Chain A
Amino acid sequence: MDKLSHIEGSVVAIPVNDIDTDQIIPARFLKVTDKDGLGKAAFCDWRYVEDGETPNPDFILNNPAYQGASVLVAGDNFGCGSSREHAPWALLGAGFKAVISTDFADIFRNNALKNGLLPIIVDRDTQQQLFSLAEEDPSTSVSVDVEAQTLTLPDGRAVAFPLDGFSKFCLLNGVDQLGYLLALDDEVSAFEASNPQRVVTTA
């Protein structure tokens, strides 16, 4: 995972509540065995017309003015539904570095953080302000300081967002969580020694 300390990027808004992971990447794209190439499938059923290839001109991500946007601002409860980590892989593949919403589904948020896609929780007013700004001016940009946990809006207002300390450490240092767990090998062995195994799948 690359280090992530700052994000400067233009904003595109999908002001829809409860965007589920089936919209972020439909299940028919989950027959892959690697993580690559999923960007083109992001929001597939909204992004392309019936043939699945021709861009739907009405969908915001196909608007030339918003090409290159790296910050997605979305309606409430983003990422609900399935546990598929293909959702953050697809968003990253489509060029996004952060998603802003008032709330994220738990599994999506966990998955995003493990891949360096930053879920930014803001209040309703900030969300609505960003919807308006992005709609009015496609060049609307924001900056994000991961260390300070702030999102700075075009008017200079800095909005604080929550981020657990461990995820922040991993993002800033570009390390994944597995290294931490592997280093606990002795503690895990001690736990196993003092707690009986519940089932034996190999029996």
Chain B
Amino acid sequence: MTVNGSPRTLFEKVWSAHTVRDQSEDTPAVLYIDLHLVHEVTSPQAFSMLRERGLEVRRPDLTIGTMDHSTPTTPRNELGIIPIADAMAAKQLDVFSKNCDDYGIPMYALGGEHQGIVHVIGPEKGLTQPGMTIVCGDSHTSTHGAFGALAFGIGTSEVGHVLATQTLLQNKPKTMAVNVEGRLGDGVTAKDIILAIIAKIGIGGGTGHVFEYRGDAIRGLSMEGRMTVCNMSIEGGARAGMVAPDDTTFEYISGRRHAPSGADWDAALELWRELPTDDGAIFDQEITIRADELSPMITYGTNPGMGMPITAAVPMPADEADYNKKIALEKALNYMELAPGQRLLGKAIDVVFIGSCTNSRISDLRQAADFVRGRKVADGVRMMVVPGSQPVKQQAESEGLDEIFRAAGAEWREAGCSMCIAMNGDQLQPGQYAVSTSNRNFEGRQGKGGRTFLASPLTAAASAIAGVVTDPRAIMSSTL
């Protein structure tokens, strides 16, 4: 699909198919939005704005709501209801419910059969499809780019713009090809790929860019692995990350609730097959990493760019030439109470969190369950497993994964964002160390004073069993 013979990237094809009005010297482009995902935390002020100005939601049929951020993940009561102990959260959820009702927006309510983390339910329901523009008042909207959609997080003012007009004003971003070549080794996963990319480029490395993840290691990932990679694009500063759709993509979508069917499916497939970047298309930047050289990754600091192979030692501020970066590293190690040059392997931990829009899908839970099957979570370690959605929870339970986790001494919870954002009472205590499959290790992110090591579900599960930061390959080889 070239125009005037000039090859185009996947991003350019999706962008140009959605410009209601092109960018000019005076104004940004006006971009049409195919799907708007809303949740309770970043939408209330946008709905208030609509009311103040007497505006309607232009396309409730392109909008879907779910409750996820401030929702409890504690067990249901005898009536099958998940009680909400926090009055502010309860009010926020009530307001959200009323807003969706008033404007005719379908919404998955807490505890309902479809409810879950916004970036889990979109793909799960077949709402996320190749070539679409998708936005949400949440920075991890980049997740949906795994399907070859242009998907990015927006602020609450922009949530209001999309509700009212189904469009957004956007300056055209630049593109960066992120090539991941070669084959992943055993125990190395999609999470390790993205942590390695962010460690390489830094957390501001992708600012102003849309990533396209390419290469045989990306092609070899499942859709859930691709979602994990795209999810953390924002942690590299990119608002969006994309993967060209292929048979893996189409197979995942086929048969889902909102997927096209019959003749519509055939027509969609024809369009989707034209989306991949044309040979010879130019990216503004390009980087390459070797998958076969990757180890399981772990973060040691207070942003996702402060990551390293799990076998490595924490870097020394003295080795950092850039003054600002040196100060940042000192500050991070001080917060984490880690010494320069220290190894993390063997470091005692208090909590393991398996969940979040990064790693709460069924394949993540299966990987973790395989590790803990027949084993016990170490004494003194709290392991929380929080499925990304009610359907993921039901699937896991039908496979008996909940029993495996419970038997090992882990907590099996209701679906939601939980300890990734720690708004709902699921949080670290001051000073605690966690190995977490979530996406951010910022100071206090998982609870004030808490300290987060970001890692894959495999590394998290291995560490839960050992009670210390553990290379999953060590446990894998011991079982052979």
Contact = CB atoms under 8 A, between A and B. Distances in A.
A binds B: yes
Interface of A: 15-18, 20, 22-23, 26-28, 30-35, 45, 50, 52, 75-77, 80-85, 103-107, 110-111, 114-115, 164-166, 169, 176-178, 180-182, 184-185, 187-188, 191-192, 195, 197-203
Contact of A188 (B20, B207, B449): B20
Contacts of B104: 202
A181 B42 contact: no
Contacts of B157: 85, 111, 114-115, 176-178
14 contacts: A18-B303, A23-B444, A28-B422, A31-B41, A83-B137, A114-B157, A181-B164, A188-B20, A188-B166, A191-B20, A192-B32, A195-B32, A197-B62, A198-B35
B269 interface: no
Contact of A18 (B28, B165, B203, B421): B203
A187 B20 contact: yes
A91 B198 CA distance: 28
B119 interface: no
Contacts of B17: 195
B473 interface: no
Contacts of A16: 327-328, 331
Interface residue SS majority, chain A: loop
Interface residues of B, number: 86
A181 B25 contact: no
A-B pairs, top 8 by smallest CB distance, nearest first, are A111-B155, A77-B204, A33-B44, A83-B153, A85-B155, A31-B88, A85-B156, A114-B157
Interface string B386-410: 0000000000000000000000000
B167 interface: yes
B294 interface: no
Given A181-B161, A199-B62, A201-B258, A45 B448 contact: yes
B237 A106 contact: yes
A26 B421 CA distance: 9
Interface in B301-316: 303, 305
A26 B328 contact: no
A44 to B, nearest CB: 9
Interface stretch (B63-71, B222-230, B377-385, B457-465): B63-71
Contact of A105 (B44, B129, B237, B423): B237
Given A83-B155, A103-B207, A197-B62, 17 more contacts: A17-B324, A22-B443, A23-B443, A23-B444, A27-B421, A45-B443, A110-B154, A115-B157, A177-B157, A178-B53, A180-B27, A181-B30, A184-B165, A188-B20, A201-B35, A202-B104, A202-B106
A28 B423 contact: yes
B134 to A, nearest CB: 10
